[in-house]
């Protein structure tokens, strides 16, 4: 197979690839609420059209009860060749801080070498990259040297709630020799990365109550226990002040890092000055690292607790009342070898103990927890992926950890019989996924597409060794 023809096709069709992404970005396929079913369905149909145009011989929308539509396409493997299962998602997060967007979030905008738009990086850019890599072979070289199964989901941003049930319903349909996902990060522009670890997540809701209804703050203020203040005091117990999070038992199951893993964290190009700039950290605000920990170690292999929502009353609707209750949602990232049950129990017990003024405190699990994932970046599949990234970007790739969570990787890997999961980076520190001005680095995006062209070429050779 002539890989040069496939690479040349990418170079000669960048405008078409850009237009494919623009077509998807224009669709408001928000999955986090019920107001965008029409857009979700439309986006699934457009993905079908793009897959058919790329030469997939079998394309269909897979329906499962209660789920947004999945799109599945297949190119059968030549005799004796392996099959790659590529996975991506077309659903996106809603808009936030709309006043901070510098261009229309639903129109793909190119400026300063980046492509801006909601979903450009997460993960419509991944959808188009996978389709374009296949199209480079079918249109540029004439034939794809491996089997391709492409599954594009519409509910990743709400936890891929039906993905595993879909796979279990017909496992042979999705069987493959490797899983390829383009929904992770590169540590810097023009630095290709493959992710080998992900943190899991446990989400809790804590509710503090003092009364059955609100009361006039002038009449009862100072007498009736204030749940909003009580909640703040309870959450303040989590402040770690440069040490471990002070929840008894939280670290009992944490797997110690080897000296080689710690050295890899120290070598990772994640300096504080760059992080502060990329994250917009205000002057005078320090990072909250544990003493002696690097940014990589803290985000890849240490647990964290973040308050992602606090609610007592809205500022717009505020009135002079002592409120009867207040609540918060906590997102807890977990690492090897923590179990979600143990983490939940430790945090719930700690936060419920000795509440202010004896107020009623309840802690409940919010949504299904997700286990951490860790693999060894070695073997034929990883070798092919690393070689492909080097060819596509022209730089040596890094194997990295990731502080985020992709819930389907570990269970899907098991369902497929332990095949390697190859998580290739598409985002970079300036991508702002889920945030205003989400963007892709345009040159890196095309480099990723070329990397996958090379992976399709190299995987059969490494698979047979």
Which tens digits make up the pLDDT trace of 161-179? 899 999 999 999 999 999 9
- For residues 110 and 35, state if they share a domain: yes
* CATH code (residue 308): 3.30.70.360
- For residues 172 and 244, state if they share a domain: no
- For residues 94 and 28, state if they share a domain: yes
What is the side-by-side strand order in the sheet with 325-334? 304-311, 325-334, 200-209, 360-365
- For residues 380 and 334, state if they share a domain: no
Q: What is the mean pLDDT of the chain?
A: 95
Is 264 a domain residue? no
Chain centroid to Cα 1, Å, comes to: 34
Confidence of residue 309 (pLDDT cuts 50, 70, 90): very high
Is 376 a domain residue? yes
Residue span of the structural domain in which 181 resides: 3-198+372-463
- For residues 179 and 219, state if they share a domain: no
Is 285 a domain residue? no
Give the residues across from 240 on adjacent strands: none
Span 276-282, average pLDDT: 90
Span 422-436, average pLDDT: 94
**pLDDT exceeds cutoff 70 at 81:** yes
Is 267 a domain residue? no
The tokens 């069987």 sit on which residue? 175
Check residue 192 and give its pLDDT. 97
- For residues 354 and 411, state if they share a domain: no
Final residue of a domain: which of 365, 395, 430?
A: 365
- For residues 340 and 384, state if they share a domain: no
As a whole-number percent, the residues of the chain with pLDDT over 70 amount to: 99
- For residues 166 and 204, state if they share a domain: no
Span 44-70, average pLDDT: 95
- For residues 182 and 238, state if they share a domain: no
Span 49-76, average pLDDT: 95
Confidence of residue 213 (pLDDT cuts 50, 70, 90): very high
Compute the distance between CA of residue 260 and CA of residue 230 in angstroms, rounded to an integer: 44
**pLDDT exceeds cutoff 90 at 1:** no
Is 282 a domain residue? no
**pLDDT exceeds cutoff 80 at 414:** yes
Compute the distance between CA of residue 277 and CA of residue 447 in angstroms, rounded to an integer: 25
- For residues 403 and 422, state if they share a domain: yes
Final residue of a domain: which of 301, 336, 365?
A: 365
Is 283 a domain residue? no
**pLDDT exceeds cutoff 90 at 335:** yes
Check residue 29 and give its pLDDT. 98
Longest dimension (CA), the chain: 82
Polymer length in residues for the chain: 465
Q: Structural domain tally of the chain?
A: 2
Span 279-303, average pLDDT: 94
Confidence of residue 464 (pLDDT cuts 50, 70, 90): low
Question: Residue 404's CB: how many other CB atoms inside 10 A?
Answer: 16
**pLDDT exceeds cutoff 70 at 463:** no
Final residue of a domain: which of 365, 389, 405?
A: 365
Is 255 a domain residue? yes
- For residues 448 and 305, state if they share a domain: no
Check residue 367 and give its pLDDT. 86
Is 272 a domain residue? no
Query: Which of 454, 457, 433 is CA-nearest to residue 183?
Result: 433
Span 302-322, average pLDDT: 93
**pLDDT exceeds cutoff 80 at 84:** yes
Min mean pLDDT across 192-201, 231-240, 257-266 is at: 257-266
Compute the distance between CA of residue 89 and CA of residue 153 in angstroms, rounded to an integer: 5
Span 422-447, average pLDDT: 96
Span 414-420, average pLDDT: 91
* CATH code (residue 169): 3.40.630.10
**Residue 439: phi, psi to the nearest 5?**
-155, 160
Query: Which of 224, 225, 223 is CA-nearest to residue 233?
Result: 225
Tell me the per-residue pLDDT of 353-393, one tens digit each, with 9 for 90 and over. 999 999 999 999 998 899 999 999 999 999 999 999 999 99
Confidence of residue 151 (pLDDT cuts 50, 70, 90): very high
- For residues 8 and 120, state if they share a domain: yes
Min mean pLDDT across 337-341, 427-431, 457-461 is at: 457-461
Please report the sign of the dihedral spanned by the C-alpha atoms of residue 109, residue 115, residue 118, residue 120. positive
């Amino acid at each position: 197979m002539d890989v040069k023809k496939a690479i040349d096709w990418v170079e000669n069709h960048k405008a078409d690839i850009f237009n494919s992404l623009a077509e998807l970005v224009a669709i408001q396929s928000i999955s986090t609420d019920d107001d965008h079913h029409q857009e979700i369905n439309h986006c699934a149909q457009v993905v079908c059209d793009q897959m058919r145009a790329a030469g997939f011989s079998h394309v269909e929308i897979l329906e499962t009860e209660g789920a947004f539509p999945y799109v599945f396409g297949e190119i059968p493997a030549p005799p004796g060749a392996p099959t790659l299962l590529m996975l991506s998602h077309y659903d996106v997060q809603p808009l936030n801080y709309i006043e901070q967007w510098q261009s229309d979030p639903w129109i793909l905008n190119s400026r300063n070498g980046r492509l801006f738009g909601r979903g450009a990086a997460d993960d419509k850019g991944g959808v188009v990259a996978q389709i374009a890599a296949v199209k480079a072979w079918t249109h540029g070289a004439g034939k794809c040297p491996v089997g391709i199964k492409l599954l594009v989901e519409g509910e990743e941003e709400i936890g891929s709630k039906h993905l595993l049930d879909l796979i279990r319903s017909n496992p042979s349909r999705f069987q493959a020799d490797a899983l390829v996902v383009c929904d992770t990060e590169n540590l810097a522009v023009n630095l290709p990365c493959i992710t080998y670890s992900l943190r899991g997540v446990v989400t809790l809701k804590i509710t503090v109550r003092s009364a059955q209804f609100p009361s006039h703050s002038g009449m009862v203020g100072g007498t009736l226990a204030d749940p909003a203040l009580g909640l703040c005091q309870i959450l303040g117990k989590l402040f770690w002040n440069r040490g471990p999070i002070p929840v008894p038992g939280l670290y009992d199951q944490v797997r110690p890092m080897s000296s080689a893993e710690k050295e890899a964290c120290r070598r990772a190009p994640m300096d504080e000055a760059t992080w502060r700039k990329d994250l917009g950290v205000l002057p005078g605000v320090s990072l909250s690292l544990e003493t002696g920990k690097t940014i990589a170690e803290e985000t890849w292999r240490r647990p964290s607790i973040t308050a992602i929502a606090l609610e007592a009353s809205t500022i717009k609707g505020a009135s002079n009342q002592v409120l009867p209750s207040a609540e918060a949602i906590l997102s807890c990232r977990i690492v090897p070898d923590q179990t979600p049950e143990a983490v939940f129990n430790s945090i719930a017990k700690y936060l419920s103990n000795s509440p202010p003024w004896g107020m009623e405190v309840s802690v409940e699990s919010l949504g299904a927890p997700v286990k951490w994932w860790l693999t060894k970046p070695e073997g034929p599949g990883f070798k092919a992926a690393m070689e492909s990234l080097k060819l596509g970007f022209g730089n040596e790739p890094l194997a990295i950890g990731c502080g985020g969570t992709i819930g389907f990787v570990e269970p899907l890997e098991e369902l497929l019989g332990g095949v390697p999961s190859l998580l290739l980076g598409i985002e970079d520190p300036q991508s702002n996924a889920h945030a205003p001005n989400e963007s892709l680095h345009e040159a890196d995006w095309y480099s990723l597409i070329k990397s996958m062209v090379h992976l399709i070429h190299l995987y059969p050779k490494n698979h047979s060794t």
